[in-house]
A and B are shown apart, each in its own frame.
Chain A
Amino acid sequence: MKKQFFYTATLIVLIGWGTGCSKTIDEKNLSYPELNPSKTDLNAGAWKTILLTNPDEFAVAAPAATNTPGYIAELNEIKSWQNKLTGEQKEIIRYWSAGAILRWNEILRELVAKHNLPPYQNADNTYPAPNANNPFAYPQFPFANPPYASRAYAYVSAAQYDALVAAHHFKKLYNRNAPYKLDSVIKAMVPASDLPSYPSEDGVVIGVTVELLKLLFPTDLAFIQEKANEHKLYRIMAGANVRSEIEAGESLGKLVAGKFTARARADRAGTAGGNAALWAQLEQQTIATGETPWISYESPKRPPMLPLFGKVRTFLFDSATLVSIRPPAPPSTKSPEFKKELEEVLYYSKNPTRERMRIVHFWADGVNTATPSGHWNAIAADDFVKQGYSEVRWARNMALLNMALMDAAIACWDTKFLYFNPRPSQVDPNIKTLTGLPNFPSYTSGHSTFSGAAATVLGQIIPAKASEYKAMASEASLSRIYGAIHYRSDCVEGLKCGERVGGFAVNRAKADGADQ
C-alpha cells in the first residue's frame, strides 16, 4: 500500500510539473491596442508626396448627400450587421482596429517570410530562378530574399503614404462625418474620430496595398483578397464607414498604386539576378585587381544573390549620390589589417558564449523570416502602436523607414558587387559559422547597413528612443562578427553607410510637412 501511495504521489507531482503551464501562447501583435490617434492630421493632404505630382492628381467624386436614399440604405447595412454581431465578428473588429497600415505591414512581413526560401537545385546542379511571368512554377515567385523584401516594404509603404495623403486632401475637401456621428443608433466600435470619413482611409489602404501585392506576391492573391474583404467588412461592422466610402477609397488607392507599380516595373529589379556571363565577369574583375574574389560556399555552387540589385533605382537620392556615399575599399586580403580581422572572426567562431549566440540568433533574420528589413519594421510597429499616430502618420513613418531600408539594400549591394570580396570562412576554412552563411560577397554587411539606416530614421521619428535604436543597430551589426560570417570592417562600414542613407530619410522627414 505504501508503495502504491508513493507511486501515485510521484505521478501526481510529475503530471503537475509537466502540464502545470498552459500551452496557450499570447502573441504580442494580437494584443496591440486600438488605433486611437492623438490628432487627426486633417491637413495631411498638404504633406509632400513621393510619386504623386499633386494630392488631387487622381480625382475623387463628391459623395452623395447624407439624406439621399442611397446613403440611408448604407446606414441600414451597418445597423443590420450591428444587430447580430457574432463573437468571431467582434474578434475581427478587435484585430483590425489596431490599424490598417499596421496590419497590412504584418501581412506583408508574413508573405516575405513565407517566400524567403532559396530555390532547391536542379538535377544538373544548376539552380532554377523564380519567374514573375510563371509565378506558380517551382521555385515560386518571388524568392523574397533581403533585397527583394526591402524593395517590397518600400513600395508598399511609399504607395500607402501617397494614397493616404491624397485621401486626406479629399477628406478635408468633402468633410463628411462618420456614420456613427450621423446616426445615433450606430455604435462606434472603434474610437470615435473627428476625421472626415469620405473617402475611407481603410479603403485607400486596401486598394493601394492589394494592387501592389498583385505585383509582389502574385501566388498569394486568394489569401490577400480574403484579408481585404475582412478588412472592408470590419469598417462597416464597426460603424466607421459606409460601403461607398470604402469603395471610393479603394478606387483612389488603386489609381495611386498604378504610379508605383509602373515605377517598380522599370526600376531594374527584374534584371538584378544577372546571368552566367555577369557572374564570371564579377569574379574576373576582382582577380584583375590582384584580390581574392568571392566564391559561393554552397554546394552545388549557387549564383550570387541579385548581383545587380545595386543598380536598382533608389527612392531617396540619385545614382550620383549613391556613388558618393559608397564605402571605401575593404582592407586587401593580403594586408596585415585583413589578417587581424580574420583572426578576430576565427576567435568568435571558436569561442562562442551563450550570450553571443543569443545575439546571433536574435538578429539572424535568415531563411523563412521577414529579413532584417522586416525585423526593423516589427521593431517600429511595436513602438508606433504606443504613439497615437493617425493612419497617414503611420504610413508616413513606415514609408520613411522602408525607403531608407530599400536604399540601404541598394547601397550595400552596390558595394558588395563592386569589391566582391570573400567571406571569412572562404579564406580560413577553420572558421565555422553560428548562423547560415549568406550567398554573396562579404563587404559590407547587409545587416549593418539596414540597421544603421533604420536606427537613424527611427531615432528621428521617436527621438526619445534614438540611443536605444542605435544600440540595437550596433548589436545587430556585431551579431554578424559573432556569427563568424563577417569581418569587423564589413560591419563598421556597413553601419556608417546605413546611417548616411538614413540621413536622407531624416532630411525628407524634416521637410515633408508632417511635423510643421
Chain B
Amino acid sequence: MKRLHTKNCNWLLSLCFCLAMLSAKAQTDIDGIMMTKTNFCTGVVYSHSSWKNYWEGTFKRDNANLGTVSTQMIGVMGNYGITDKLNILFGVPYVQTKASEGSLKGMKGVQDLSLWVKWMPVDLRIGKGEFSAYGVAGYSFPVSNYVVDFLPMSIGLRSKNLSLRAIADYQIGKFFVTGSATYVLRSNIKIDRNSYYTTEMHYTNEVKMPDAASFNFRTGYRSNSFTGELVFSNWTTLGGFDITKNNMPFPSNEMNATRAGVAFKYTMKQLPGLSVIGGSNITLTGRNVGQSTDFSAGVFYVFDFKKKNKKNSPDPKKI
C-alpha cells in the first residue's frame, strides 16, 4: 500500500463558523488519507469556538446583549477501512452554547450524526510525487430534537444534509497539497412556530434551507509520525437572505465564511496506534456568521481487526 494509507487517525475538527454551528466536521472526510483495510480508528475530540463580532449581512458589529458567544463540543468519531480504497466514517458531537452577557440561556445536546463513504479511485505516480483523487459522499441528520429557531444559541441547523465532495491530493516527499470542493444539499427544516418572516411572510412551520458549497485547501508536511498543515476554507450558502438590521439570525440566512488555520497530528513512536491532534482556525471574512476563533484537541486510537494478516498493514517506510 502506498503513502496514502495509514494506520494513524487524522481527525481534526473544522468547527463551524456559523452563528450557530453547522455540523462538526472531521478532517478525515476532507483529507488525502485512507485507513487501511480492516483498521478502525476512533477517538474523541474537544473543541471550543467563540465569537464576539458578527456580520449582520455585510455590517460587522458586536452585541453587548450577547457578549462573547461560545460553543463547546465533544465529538466521538470513527473511520473504518472496508478496503484500502474504501472507508466509512462517522462522527457525532455533543454541543453546548453560552453567551457571556445578556439573558439568553445557552443550549446543549447531541447534535447531528454524520456518515461518510470515502473512495479513492485514483492513485498514481506523477513526476516526483504521488497523485490521488477521492470521492466522498456524506449524509448527516439530527439525532436529538434540539431547538433550531433560537439562534445564535441553537446547537445546530437541523437540516438533513447530503454532501458530495471531490478531493485531489499531491505529495512530493513529505510535502503535500490537498484541495477539495463540496456541494451540500440541505433538506427543509421544521421550526416550532407556524409563521415566520424572511424577506416576506411565510405561513408554515417548514423552512427552505438553501444548499451550500464549500472549498478547502490544505498544505504542509506529512509523515507517519507528524503532520503539520495550513488550512484555508470557504463555506458559501447558495441562496438565503441577510439578517436585517438589529434582527435575530434565522436558520435560512445566507451564511458565508472564509477561514484560515493550522492543524497538526502527532503519533507516538512507542505506541503507533495512538495519535493526538490539535488545531486552530480564525475567520477572515463572513456574512451572517460570527467571526469565530476555534481551538480543538483530540486523541485517537487505531484497532486492527485483522491483526494476523500482516500483509494488509501499512509500511511506514513508504510514507
Q: Does any Cβ of B come within 8 Å of A131's Cβ?
A: no
Are B247 and A109 in contact, CB atoms less than 8 angstroms apart? Answer: no
A363-392: contact bitstring with B at CB < 8 Å (1 yes, 0 no)?
010111110000100100000000000000
Q: Which residues of A contact B188 (CB under 8 A)?
A: 21, 23, 25
Known: A14-B137, A361-B150, A433-B103. A117 touches B201 (CB 8 A): no
Q: Does any Cβ of A come within 8 Å of B202's Cβ?
A: yes
**The one of A19, A25, A113, A357 that contacts B201, using a Cβ cutoff of 8 Å:** A113
Q: Does any Cβ of A come within 8 Å of B176's Cβ?
A: no
Closest to A26 in B: B204
Are B248 and A367 in contact, CB atoms less than 8 angstroms apart? Answer: yes
Q: Which residues of B contact A367 (CB under 8 A)?
A: 247-248
Q: Would you call the interface of chain B mostly helix, strand, loop, or mixed?
A: loop
Q: Which residues of A contact B225 (CB under 8 A)?
A: none
Are A11 and B197 in contact, CB atoms less than 8 angstroms apart? Answer: no
Q: Which residues of A contact B29 (CB under 8 A)?
A: none
Q: How far is B64's CA from A358's CA once the two chains are assembled, in angstroms?
A: 27
Q: Does any Cβ of B come within 8 Å of A90's Cβ?
A: no
Q: Does any Cβ of A come within 8 Å of B269's Cβ?
A: no
B51-72: contact bitstring with A at CB < 8 Å (1 yes, 0 no)?
0000000000000110000000
Are B192 and A18 in contact, CB atoms less than 8 angstroms apart? Answer: no
A67-75, A236-244, A296-304, A308-316 - the one binding chain B = A296-304
Q: Does any Cβ of B come within 8 Å of A434's Cβ?
A: yes
A443-484: contact bitstring with B at CB < 8 Å (1 yes, 0 no)?
000000000000000000000000000000000000000001
Are A18 and B106 in contact, CB atoms less than 8 angstroms apart? Answer: no
Q: Does any Cβ of A come within 8 Å of B101's Cβ?
A: yes
Closest to B162 in A: A18
Q: Which residues of B contact A319 (CB under 8 A)?
A: none
Q: Which residues of A contact B197 (CB under 8 A)?
A: 110, 113-114, 368-369
Q: Does any Cβ of B come within 8 Å of A84's Cβ?
A: no
Q: Does any Cβ of B come within 8 Å of A397's Cβ?
A: no
Are B202 and A17 in contact, CB atoms less than 8 angstroms apart? Answer: no
Q: Which residues of B contact A6 (CB under 8 A)?
A: 82, 86
Q: Does any Cβ of A come within 8 Å of B191's Cβ?
A: yes
Q: Does any Cβ of A come within 8 Å of B208's Cβ?
A: yes
Which residues of chain A from 82 to 97 have any CB-CB distance to chain B below 8 Å in the complex? Answer: none
Are B103 and A432 in contact, CB atoms less than 8 angstroms apart? Answer: yes
B111-141: contact bitstring with A at CB < 8 Å (1 yes, 0 no)?
0000001010000000000000001011100
**The one of A7, A114, A138 that contacts B117, using a Cβ cutoff of 8 Å:** A7
Q: Which residues of A contact B246 (CB under 8 A)?
A: 117-120
Are A7 and B105 in contact, CB atoms less than 8 angstroms apart? Answer: no
**The one of B101, B137, B202, B208 that contacts A11, using a Cβ cutoff of 8 Å:** B137
Please classify how large the interface on chain B is, using the bins under 10, 10 to 19, 20 to 34, 35 or more: 35 or more
Known: A19-B162, A28-B203, A29-B203. A437 touches B192 (CB 8 A): no
**The one of A15, A17, A369, A432 that contacts B195, using a Cβ cutoff of 8 Å:** A369
Q: Does any Cβ of A come within 8 Å of B194's Cβ?
A: yes
Nearest CB on B from A294, distance (A): 14
Which residues of chain B from 182 to 210 have any CB-CB distance to chain A below 8 Å in the complex? Answer: 185, 187-188, 191-197, 200-204, 206-208
Q: Which residues of A contact B248 (CB under 8 A)?
A: 366-368, 436
Q: Does any Cβ of B come within 8 Å of A334's Cβ?
A: no
A1-38: contact bitstring with B at CB < 8 Å (1 yes, 0 no)?
00100110011001101110101011111100000000
Are A11 and B204 in contact, CB atoms less than 8 angstroms apart? Answer: no
Q: How far is B101's CA from A425's CA once the two chains are assembled, in angstroms?
A: 12
Q: Does any Cβ of B come within 8 Å of A136's Cβ?
A: no
Are A27 and B117 in contact, CB atoms less than 8 angstroms apart? Answer: no
Which residues of chain B from 241 to 275 have any CB-CB distance to chain A below 8 Å in the complex? Answer: 244-248
Known: A361-B149, A433-B104. A25 touches B204 (CB 8 A): yes
Q: Does any Cβ of B come within 8 Å of A362's Cβ?
A: yes
Q: How far is B202's CA from A119's CA once the two chains are assembled, in angstroms?
A: 24
Q: Which residues of A contact B203 (CB under 8 A)?
A: 27-30, 106, 378
Known: A106-B201, A110-B201, A117-B244. A297 touches B103 (CB 8 A): yes
Q: Does any Cβ of B come within 8 Å of A219's Cβ?
A: no
Q: Which residues of A contact B204 (CB under 8 A)?
A: 25-28
Q: Which residues of A contact B103 (CB under 8 A)?
A: 297, 425, 431-433, 437
Q: Which residues of A contact B149 (CB under 8 A)?
A: 361
Closest to B184 in A: A18
Q: Does any Cβ of A come within 8 Å of B44's Cβ?
A: no
Nearest CB on A from B222, distance (A): 25
**The one of A7, A18, A27, A354 that contacts B185, using a Cβ cutoff of 8 Å:** A18
Closest to A302 in B: B65
Are A3 and B65 in contact, CB atoms less than 8 angstroms apart? Answer: no
Q: Which residues of A contact B187 (CB under 8 A)?
A: 18, 21, 23
Q: Does any Cβ of A come within 8 Å of B160's Cβ?
A: yes
Q: How far is B119's CA from A21's CA once the two chains are assembled, in angstroms?
A: 26
Q: Does any Cβ of A come within 8 Å of B147's Cβ?
A: yes
Q: Does any Cβ of B come within 8 Å of A191's Cβ?
A: no
In the complex, which of the residues A113, A366, A435 has the most CB atoms of chain B within 10 Å of its own CB atom? A113
Nearest CB on B from A378, distance (A): 6
Q: Which residues of B contact A3 (CB under 8 A)?
A: 82-83, 85-86, 119
Nearest CB on B from A138, distance (A): 7
Q: Does any Cβ of A come within 8 Å of B309's Cβ?
A: no
Q: How far is B7's CA from A394's CA once the two chains are assembled, in angstroms?
A: 72
Are B196 and A362 in contact, CB atoms less than 8 angstroms apart? Answer: no
Q: Which residues of B contact A358 (CB under 8 A)?
A: 192
Can you show 15 pairs from A to B with CB atoms below 8 A apart?
A3-B83, A11-B137, A14-B117, A17-B139, A18-B187, A27-B204, A106-B201, A110-B197, A119-B246, A120-B246, A352-B105, A362-B192, A370-B195, A370-B201, A378-B195
> Interface residues, chain B, CB within 8 Å of chain A?
64-65, 82-83, 85-86, 101-106, 117, 119, 135, 137-139, 145, 147, 149-150, 160-162, 185, 187-188, 191-197, 200-204, 206-208, 244-248
> Interface residues, chain A, CB within 8 Å of chain B?
3, 6-7, 10-11, 14-15, 17-19, 21, 23, 25-30, 106, 109-110, 113-114, 117-120, 138, 297-300, 349, 352, 354, 357-358, 361-362, 364, 366-370, 375, 378, 425, 431-437, 484
4 A-B pairs closest in CB distance: A18-B162, A432-B105, A299-B64, A361-B192
